[in-house]
Amino acid sequence: MFFNAAVLKKKGKVIIDKLSLPKLKFGQSLVKIYYSSICHTQIQEIDGQRGIDNYLPHCLGHEGIGMVIDKHNSVKKVKNLDSVCLSWINSKGINSGGTSYLNSKGIKVNAGPVHTFSEYAVISENKIFKIDKVDKQKVLLGCALPTAYNVIDDLDISKINSICIIGCGGLGISCVIASKDYRIKKIFAVDKNKTKLKFAKKNGANETFESLEEIKNKQIRFDVIIECTGQIQVLKKCIGLSKNFGGKIIVIGNYPKGNFLKIDPWHIIQGKSLLGAWNDTLNFDKKFRKFEKKTKNKNLNFFFGDKIYKLTDINKAINEFKKGKIIRPLIKM
């Protein structure tokens, strides 16, 4: 049986290929994918910004939902017909590593332990989360939502008065939503895109800015800054906007490989700290359930704009995403 999958053939070139299913190995499940969304990690992979790509040609995508239709008998976490969310985030279960498929011309196509831009996918047990039902907005639980919620969940909220989220794409908006959910008093959001700022405001931001200069001019300083743009120059400026004696700068944007941050050590001496999102991933299954529950009754369909792309329109979805037209393009298989 052949199925359609988006394959990165070489830098900048994504094609729809016909792949055949391999026999399932230790720790692997076969998932029929229903929906996937695109995040900036895939854009960086496509554009060759993540360093040398040793796996070309390969499958793409790391956030999706679907149904388990077959599994190796070693897999205990899910069973056939379970609705599942697929994520790059490690969790319980066997790490089966990546896989490979043969296309209709007999050429090998690689895939990581999770991939989602395809009608079917062989997934490693530690990349699968059972969900109660297939609801398209649950694709966001594969990447943006758990990252954002994990950042906010790790903070000592009682000590935080102000938070500033820089960049209001999928990750940034998710941080705004999570900050509001955890009742952080003052939520600020920055983006040069006015539509994205409107969404930030609608979903919990108390005040929005179109540039960091505006903040600098007003001399506002924050307890927590979350950098989501992936631009090293923006990150550098963020450090100056953080409060002394306990200010935290949380770095979760996607920076192209080879970008380095140069900072004045006095920022650290004055009590600022630089942190990431994943300070503790132990027992992520439990956290996943917690974040699934917290986001269950929210209407997050605005992430997808007003359209749903077909897998065969993947290049259109990628282009419109790159132009900033949509927060997260939704692909229906």
State the minimum distance, in angstroms, from the CB of residue 148 to Zn ion.
11
203/199 Cα distance (integer angstroms): 6
| C-alpha–C-alpha distance, residues 172 and 306, integer Å | 20
- 5/39 with CB nearer Zn ion: 39
Contact mark string toward Zn ion, 108..147, x via CB under 5 A: -----------------------------------x----
Residue (57 or 142) nearer to Zn ion, CB: 142
Binding of Zn ion by 197 (CB under 5 A) = no
Tell me how many residues contact Zn ion (CB under 5 A). Answer: 3
Nearer to Zn ion, 116 or 208 (CB): 116
Position 212 contacts Zn ion (CB under 5 A): no
Does the footprint of Zn ion cover residue 277 (CB under 5 A)?
no
Considering only the stretches 2-10, 39-47, 180-188, 294-302, report the one whose residues sit in contact with Zn ion under the rule CB under 5 A: 39-47
For residue 110, which of 122, 100, 118 has the smallest C-alpha distance?
A: 100
Backbone angles phi, psi at 175, to 5 degrees: -65, -40
Q: Where are the strands (E) in the chain, listed by range?
A: 2-10, 13-20, 28-37, 58-59, 63-71, 83-87, 99-103, 108-111, 120-124, 128-130, 162-166, 186-190, 207-209, 224-227, 248-251, 273-275, 308-310, 330-332
Of 14, 39, 86, 168, the one binding Zn ion by CB under 5 A: 39
Cβ atoms of 152 and 129 within 8 Å: the answer is no
Judged by CB, which is closer to Zn ion: 19, or 143? 143
Q: For Zn ion, give the closer residue by CB, 71 or 196.
A: 196
Question: What is the signed CA dihedral for 274, 277, 278, 281, rounded to 10 degrees?
Answer: 140
For residue 167, the minimal CB distance to Zn ion (Å) is 14
Say whether residue 41 binds Zn ion (CB under 5 A): yes
User: In the complex with Zn ion, which residue's Cβ is closer, 75 or 317?
Assistant: 317
Q: d(Cα 211, Cα 233) in Å, to the nearest integer?
A: 13
Which residue, 143 or 212, has its beta carbon nearer to Zn ion? 143
Q: Whose Cβ is closer to Zn ion: residue 147's or residue 179's?
A: 147
Stretch that binds Zn ion, among 33-41, 132-140, 256-264, 272-280 (CB under 5 A): 33-41
Q: How far is the CB of 328 from Zn ion (least distance, A)?
A: 9
Q: Name the minimum Å distance from CB 78 to Zn ion.
A: 21
Query: Under 8 Å CB-to-CB from 102, ≥6 apart: which residues?
Result: 19, 20, 22, 108, 109
Point out which span in 34-42, 255-263, 276-284, 303-311 binds Zn ion (CB under 5 A): 34-42
Binding-site string for Zn ion from residue 148 to residue 167, where x marks contact by CB under 5 A and - marks none: --------------------
Closer of 34 and 188 to Zn ion (Cβ): 34
User: What's the gap between Cα 136 and its chain centre?
Assistant: 15
* Closest distance of CB 333 from Zn ion, Å: 18
Give the integer Cα–Cα distance in Å for 221 and 245.
12
Question: In the chain, which ranges are continuous DSSP H helix?
Answer: 40-46, 144-154, 170-181, 194-202, 212-218, 232-240, 266-269, 284-295, 314-322
Classify strands 128-130 and 162-166 as parallel, antiparallel or unpaired: unpaired
Min dist. Cβ of residue 188 to Zn ion (A): 24
Q: Which residues bind Zn ion (CB under 5 A)?
A: 39, 41, 143
